[in-house]
Amino acid sequence: MYPFAERVSTLESEGAYAVLARSQALEAQGRKILHLEIGQPDFATPAHVSAAAVQAIQAGQTRYNPPAGVPALRALIAKEAGRAHGLEFLPAQVVIGPGAKPGLFFPTLALVQAGDEVIYPDPGFPTYKAMIAIAGGVPVPVPLREASGFSFDLQAFDRAVSKRTRLIVLNSPANPTGGVIPLADLQHIAAKAQEVGAWVLSDEIYGRLAYDGNQVPSIASLPGMMERCIIVDGFSKTYAMTGWRLGYTIMPETLATRVELLLTHSVGCTATFTQFAGIEAIEGPQDQVDEMVAEYQRRRDHIVAGLNAIPGVSCLSPQGAFYVFPNVKSFGKSSSEIARRLLDEAGVATLAGTDFGPYGEGYLRLCYATSLETIDGALEKMGTFFRSLAK
């Protein structure tokens, strides 16, 4: 055995990558696979945003920029995010990174010492557990409950919080459930965080993908919270820019300077011309974002109705993001067996709820950021599959 460092010994891949690899292997054998596993928009990046990047390259914006990002983009994000949160942010509080993921990882590295406890949602985005482990922290998963729209089980949350809690990770709207944490729950969580002196990392990457005309409340906007909050957001989901690698964090300035140093010594800086695309994405017309959100809502309604029409499957209508998390407990089989057989026998690629933690048992995650045609094809195949499974 190679003497690998202990910090990487528990690392696992994201389920979505493993399923994508398996689907592609089946496709190479000539099988037709309907893809509902990968969480990325099927839309193209708005053309005016891509054009801004091309212009930036042609204008020579191809050199290093400051580790925390291009000053004009930091200032713009401070202004826009400040407006959205009803707060005033300084540009020095904003740190740009290559995607939202570094915005999860580096503040965690800057805050969490060996043995510190970190609360995070289960089922939840797999990077949370990974970053806590790498920082040497103790991961403390708190279950989300279907009965409360996949918000935290607040009783379990209260039992999990202690003086040892250094950081609380929230994600609303959430991957993998699409759940939105209601304001009353955020107030409860904020009070606890203040009581024990914990930081809160609020992953708001799906914040603009909210349905039925609702706005998603942010814990950072609650009185006194921004002094202990890190807001994580980015361009991947809102502007269909997953491959551009552009995201940002907003936090108290003292922490921002530490995160900036971690960026300095790891990635150096985020690609310069992509940040000019980011400026255009924020400053330019927003109608394509509105159109994408309207289309996701249409697809959500369609897939939720289709899943609920399958005997034995029940599915909440999520308030945000582009995932549904149907309950398949009635079939008495594990999520991983159902997901595997759906792929092998029906040619539908989904993820097991347990790819997002043990409390995901009994659920599947389906991403509906794909065409209605693909969704319809998948619903038909899933209907046949589940009817045969129920026999």
DSSP code of 153? -
Q: How far is the CB of 168 from ligand PLP (least distance, A)?
A: 15
- Which one among 19, 34, 39, 354 touches ligand PLP, defined by CB under 6 A? 39
| Closer residue to ligand PLP in complex, CB, 115/243 | 243
Q: How far is the CB of 237 from ligand PLP (least distance, A)?
A: 7
Q: How far is the CB of 100 from ligand PLP (least distance, A)?
A: 4
What does the DSSP assignment read for 157-217? HHHH--TTEEEEEEESS-TTT-----HHHHHHHHHHHHHHT-EEEEE-TTTT-B-TTPPPP
Q: How far is the CB of 234 from ligand PLP (least distance, A)?
A: 4
Tokens 């659920």: give the residue: 363
Backbone angles phi, psi at 351, to 5 degrees: -115, 145
Site string for ligand PLP, 153-192 (x = CB under 6 A): ------------------x---x-----------------
CA distance 190 to 154: 12
Residues 119-138 that bind ligand PLP (CB under 6 A): 125
| Closer residue to ligand PLP in complex, CB, 275/310 | 275
Q: Which residue is nearest to ligand PLP (CB)?
A: 99
| Closer residue to ligand PLP in complex, CB, 94/313 | 94
| Site size toward ligand PLP, by CB under 6 A | 13
Residues 190-249 that bind ligand PLP (CB under 6 A): 203, 205, 234, 236, 242, 247
Nearest residue to 277 (alpha-carbon basis) of 241, 242, 232: 241
* Dihedral sign computed on CA atoms, order 329, 152, 161, 11: positive
E strand or H helix at 336: helix 335-341
Q: Does 322 bind ligand PLP (CB under 6 A)?
A: no
Note whether 94 and 69 are within 8 A (CB): yes
CA distance 292 to 282: 15
Q: What is the largest CA-CA distance in the chain?
A: 65
- Contact segment (CB under 6 A) with ligand PLP among 2-10, 83-91, 93-101, 213-221 equals 93-101
Torsion of CA 254, 202, 233, 78, to 10 degrees: -40
Q: Does 101 bind ligand PLP (CB under 6 A)?
A: yes
Contact residues toward ligand PLP (CB under 6 A) are 39, 99-101, 125, 171, 175, 203, 205, 234, 236, 242, 247
